[in-house]
Amino acid sequence: MGLEAQTQIEMLGPTHRIPGKLTAGDTYYKGGVMGIIDGFFSASGGIPSGILTGYGFDPDDGGAKVVSSSDNPDAEIDVGMAWVPYSGASQESVGDTFFLTDDNTVTTTAGDYAGVLCRGYKSGYVLLDFRTVLAS
């Protein structure tokens, strides 16, 4: 199931805030896992990049922002290690490569883009390291 509301993401250790632009024609949620496709932040997969933090989110809309098909607004992502929701989190997840899905979540199933390393887990979450991208 894809992200349907903002997510409270806990970052672990130092992070860096990176500015960029959102891909047109998609819905974004605060706390969503972002990829990069064709130089734009994307909620639809791509090269794993970080967690969406800085954008004009409306709490009354569940932290969502719909971007029109003709707009590429400015946004910011946090890059570092983040506890990301994952229902299958277990000790066996540690060391696995995680990939972005096309619905703002993560999976261990390889896709068309690179992945990131899982460095830890806790119930319902994996600790993903967005500082280093791994080849698919």
Q: pLDDT tens digits for 25-41?
A: 988 887 888 889 999 99
- Long-range residue pairs from 94-101, CB within 8 A, at least 24 positions apart, any chain: 94/118, 94/119, 94/120, 94/121, 97/134, 97/136, 98/48, 98/126, 98/128, 99/45, 99/48, 99/136, 100/33, 100/35, 100/45, 100/46, 100/48, 101/2, 101/45
Percent over 90 (pLDDT), the chain: 40
Percent over 70 (pLDDT), the chain: 85
Q: Report pLDDT for 1.
A: 42
What's the rounded mean pLDDT across residues 4-32? 84
